Structure 1
Amino acid sequence: MRMRYFATAAAAAMLLVAPPAAADTVSDWWEFAGRITNATQPPTADQYRAISRTSLAMFEAVNAIDRRYESYLGFPAGDSTASQDAAAATAAFKVLVHHFPTQRTALEDSYAIAMAEIRDERAREAGRLIGEAAAAAAMAAGGIDPAIPQDPYRPRTTPGEWISTPLPQIESFMWAYRPWAIPSAEALRPPPPPALSSAVWARDYEEVRRLGARTSTERTPHQTLMARYRQAFELAPTMRLVADGPGRTPVRNARMFAVYQMAFDDAALAMAAAKFHYNYWRPITAIRNGAADGNEATAPDAGWVPLLATPNFPEYPCGHCTVAAAIGEVMSAETGPIPAKGVRVGSQAVPNSIIQVLPSWERWVQEVSDSRIYGGVHYRFSNEAGEEIGRRAARIVMDRVMQPLPVRRGGGRR
């Protein structure tokens, strides 16, 4: 966005500082990082946090020039006349080319285009140096903790008995990262799933059996659409809208993206660790074996098939619900729970579909959770446990990192 000058005195003061980056610079590179990561599937352990490090590097670079928040990395303040565009683009470029060396040509071309638009050579060079230093600092953070065991997954079975052989799609490294803000993955572990003899188990089993079956006659056409649409949600339309909103600044946007990614990572860390701690059965397994759970209220269906393909890793807690709740918590704090222009959500699973507009972040989180039941892959209690993890992780991140610096008398930050 462009800075508005409301008073002659303010305008005169701003002449001493290089023009701020267009707010689009940060969101452009965040979105670009997402596209590169999504095109490189599955990501390696080195690539898994590439978007987060990109976001963190851009924040540290821009915040060094326009000092508004506490540095997460202890990164020093820099030249206030440096180009924020150059700093943000350089920080992102350096992180991405490190994590995705096979994309070097595309990244170099994009970086050259971005830098060519910055006409002030002195400000551009100063920004480049800050961006390079910020990228180096960010790439040294948030890595794998060597103290956390990464034992290969061993399927549980009776010796000599066949079971399905594909290994889980969640790798052991995914719960071995150092958290950004939460104390540990175990600190957010949910309580165990309900007992198989409980009324909660019977209730939620029956809900997914009725609504999540491929041939369900109780699921509405809209619920079927949402189950498919929400398999891989795309929030770039909303994030772009927020970043370009009135009064936004580059450093505020950079902080937003960094906090978003950190909350996502810490929530996902706790969720992945919990999944493999409990190793809980999916609806397709439970419903086909409903006669063996000891609960007379669960009706078995030996041929039951879910609407969606069941993800190949343990069920509890729900992963989609976890990260959606974390994002919803962060963005509710950023925009208010009911954004003026709604929550605009796309779908990577249905890429040619129109953008959906929802009235609130809470409504979006709830629809993500419900969609996993309609798809036949999660129970209600698992969704609720995931949402609680996501909200707790987000609140910890928001309370502990990148806090606004106090304003000195006469202006400026301490």
Structure 2
Amino acid sequence: MRAMMMGMAALAALTAAQPANADTVSDWWEFSSRIAPYMAPGGTPEQGRALTRASLAMFEAVNAIDRRYESYLGFPAGDPAASQDAAAATAAYTVMLHHFPAQKTALDDSYAIAMSAIAEGPAREAGRLIGEQAARAAIAAGGIDPALQATPYRPRTTPGVWVSTQLPQIETYMVTYRPWVLTSADAVRPPPPPALTSERWARDYEEVRLLGGRTSAARTPHQTLMARYRQAFDLTPSLRLAADAPGRTPVQNARMFALYQMAFDDAVLAMADAKAHYDFWRPITAIRNGADDGNDATAPDAGWTPLLGTPNFAEYPCGHCVVAAAHAEVMKAEVGPRPPGGVRVGSLAVPMSAVQVLPGWDDWVRDVSDSRIYGGVHFRFSNEAGEQIGRDTARRVLERVMRPLP
């Protein structure tokens, strides 16, 4: 895969291309990722695709100038002498301004800084025009499918019996996006969770009961730290390490970020579909009601509390595990399973902590899954199902789009 990604473009385009800084793409992806969280609270469904659209727009713009890969949007080739920096910055800026007009000042200032570093002239203007065109094409792609209807969540209860009035944090519209690559939201739906009367259910129930409780004596201090550290992980250090490697080109980096975001979107779409379909209970509910599951091997604990707060949506499959596995597959294709410098992961949950370094991508996926058990919010079988969704989704993305040209 890496060899294919380094394939030669046509000699004419290679010799005529305007020199560019590969960091421009990375800088605008990172800047856009900081703008995107402003969609919460009160964000719109379309804002949920903003970062992917910005990444896709940068790819299409730079790939139009340095034609090395198949276009995802059918975007035409452009002037090979155009500025790739101007094209990438304009593409990301235009998409983000469309989705986050309230951030216009920050976006305008950053765009002015980026463009001031590029010499005025025909190359900059050509790049700017290509970037604007790519942004318009990306904005029109990957949104909500009007043919799909979001079904409102209805809490299950017996008539007259109280049930929590807090609605799930996973919005119903999340299963109505158009997939980037998957044929449908249920294309990689996992099989059902194990029967409550099964040996597997009892084994995984007992594992999280022992390791995931707030006062667990079986969990080590390091495991407790990792449960908290990985609540909101940040792969930016690894992405920047990959993007800054010697010899990387702007179009390679733009492709990496676009694939990374598209795999994320489709994997999350599949995860939301599966959670809504199975509506499986969380450990806190299962363990407090262990006497009612029909399995004599599950010891009930009416006062059991998990280490971490339980997310307010269905348990199966594990969402963290879905995302970790999807991103790992994309990055293994980019830098190999055990990249030089290791896998570098930060934490948004513990923002003042150091970056953690792990030997390889599979190690990281396993550790993310383990951390959700230590936190008391997932069962082992749910983690395994989530990992499989992430892997299957990412592999389809890698196999089907933005393939190297001959």
Please tell me the TM-score bracket, short chain as reference.
over 0.9
Check 1:125–1:153 CA distance in 2 against 1; reply closer, same or farther (3 A cut): same
- 2:136 match: 136
- 1:26 match: 25
Check 1:13–1:107 CA distance in 2 against 1; reply closer, same or farther (3 A cut): closer
Alignment of 1:360-371 (within 5 A): 360-371=360-371
* TM superposition shift of 1:195: 0.1
* TM superposition shift of 1:164: 1.1
User: Identity of paired residues, percent?
Assistant: 73
The whole-number CA distance in structure 2 between the counterparts of 1:167 and 1:189 is 23
Q: TM-score, normalization: structure 1?
A: 0.94
SS for the counterpart of 1:353 is coil
The whole-number CA distance in structure 2 between the counterparts of 1:321 and 1:231 is 11
User: Partner letter of residue 22 of structure 2?
Assistant: A
* TM superposition shift of 1:39: 3.7
In the alignment, structure 1 residue 277 sits paired with structure 2 residue 277: yes
- 2:357 match: 357
* TM superposition shift of 1:13: 9.0
- 2:5 match: none
Q: Deviations over 1:22-56 (max 9, x none)?
A: 11111111111111112432442011011100000
Check 1:120–1:190 CA distance in 2 against 1; reply closer, same or farther (3 A cut): same
SS for the counterpart of 1:97 is helix
User: Partner letter of residue 30 of structure 1?
Assistant: W
- 1:252 match: 252
The whole-number CA distance in structure 1 between the counterparts of 2:301 and 2:67 is 61
In the alignment, structure 1 residue 345 sits paired with structure 2 residue 345: yes
- 1:4 match: none
- Asked if structure 1 preserves the Cα contact closer than 8 Å seen for 2:13 and 2:67, the reply is no
In the alignment, structure 1 residue 307 sits paired with structure 2 residue 307: yes
User: Partner letter of residue 156 of structure 1?
Assistant: R
Alignment of 1:372-411 (within 5 A): 372-406=372-406
Alignment of 1:216-227 (within 5 A): 216-227=216-227
- Asked if structure 1 preserves the Cα contact closer than 8 Å seen for 2:13 and 2:80, the reply is no
Q: Deviations over 1:226-262 (max 9, x none)?
A: 0000000001111001000011100000000000111
SS for the counterpart of 1:54 is helix
User: Partner letter of residue 81 of structure 1?
Assistant: A
- 2:52 match: 52
- 1:326 match: 326
Q: Deviations over 1:124-147 (max 9, x none)?
A: 100000000000000000011112
- 2:189 match: 189
- Asked if structure 1 preserves the Cα contact closer than 8 Å seen for 2:13 and 2:66, the reply is no
- 2:95 match: 95
SS for the counterpart of 1:46 is helix
- 1:38 match: 37
The whole-number CA distance in structure 1 between the counterparts of 2:46 and 2:170 is 15
Q: Which runs of 5+ in 2 are unaligned?
A: 1-10
SS for the counterpart of 1:48 is helix
The whole-number CA distance in structure 2 between the counterparts of 1:296 and 1:275 is 27
- 1:66 match: 66
The whole-number CA distance in structure 2 between the counterparts of 1:111 and 1:215 is 50
Q: Deviations over 1:310-358 (max 9, x none)?
A: 0000000000000100000110111000001101100000100000011
User: Partner letter of residue 321 of structure 1?
Assistant: C
The whole-number CA distance in structure 2 between the counterparts of 1:30 and 1:319 is 23
- 1:7 match: none
- 1:242 match: 242
Q: Deviations over 1:85-144 (max 9, x none)?
A: 000000000000000010011000000000011014211100000000000000000011
SS for the counterpart of 1:136 is helix
- 1:411 match: none
The whole-number CA distance in structure 2 between the counterparts of 1:130 and 1:100 is 21
User: Partner letter of residue 247 of structure 1?
Assistant: G
**Aligned residues, how many?**
396
The whole-number CA distance in structure 2 between the counterparts of 1:71 and 1:354 is 38
- 1:5 match: none
SS for the counterpart of 2:80 is coil
The whole-number CA distance in structure 1 between the counterparts of 2:26 and 2:314 is 34
The ranges of structure 1 where at least 4 consecutive aligned residues each deviate by more than 2 angstroms after the TM superposition are 11-17
The whole-number CA distance in structure 2 between the counterparts of 1:209 and 1:353 is 28
SS for the counterpart of 2:94 is helix
The whole-number CA distance in structure 2 between the counterparts of 1:116 and 1:214 is 53
- Asked if structure 1 preserves the Cα contact closer than 8 Å seen for 2:307 and 2:376, the reply is yes
- 60-69 or 157-166, larger mean C-alpha shift: 157-166
SS for the counterpart of 2:76 is coil
- 2:204 match: 204
SS for the counterpart of 2:48 is coil
Q: Deviations over 1:243-292 (max 9, x none)?
A: 00011100000000000111111111000010011000000000000000
- Asked if structure 1 preserves the Cα contact closer than 8 Å seen for 2:255 and 2:402, the reply is yes
The whole-number CA distance in structure 2 between the counterparts of 1:201 and 1:37 is 39
Q: Which runs of 5+ in 1 are unaligned?
A: 1-10, 407-414
SS for the counterpart of 1:186 is coil
Alignment of 1:2-13 (within 5 A): none
- 2:214 match: 214
- 2:111 match: 111
The whole-number CA distance in structure 1 between the counterparts of 2:344 and 2:280 is 33
SS for the counterpart of 1:168 is coil
User: Partner letter of residue 101 of structure 1?
Assistant: P
User: Partner letter of residue 340 of structure 1?
Assistant: P
The whole-number CA distance in structure 1 between the counterparts of 2:201 and 2:146 is 38
